[in-house]
Amino acid sequence: MYVKKMAEIRGVTTAQIFFRFMMDIGVVPLTGTTDETHMKQDLAVLDMPSISSEEIQRINDMLSDSI
């Protein structure tokens, strides 16, 4: 729910939030899409501001709780 709200506030998709999150924690996300729309969304992440350390922690906590 938190990621969905982050996406709505920023005007992006939840996938873009996770893509940016991965970049901000030092992981290079790979995309295998051949869909032009998805590729544009993936590339748009490069122009998104970084996710705050508080947001990163909340996403980490959320992911840890789901394991």
pLDDT of residue 31: 85
Each residue's pLDDT tens digit, 10-66: 999 999 999 999 999 999 988 888 999 999 999 999 999 999 999 999 999 998 887
pLDDT of residue 1: 83
Amino acid (1-letter code) at residue 64: S
Q: Determine contact, residues 15/41, Cβ cutoff 8 Å.
A: yes
Q: Determine contact, residues 59/21, Cβ cutoff 8 Å.
A: yes
**Nearest Cα residue to 3 out of 19, 24, 17, 20:** 17
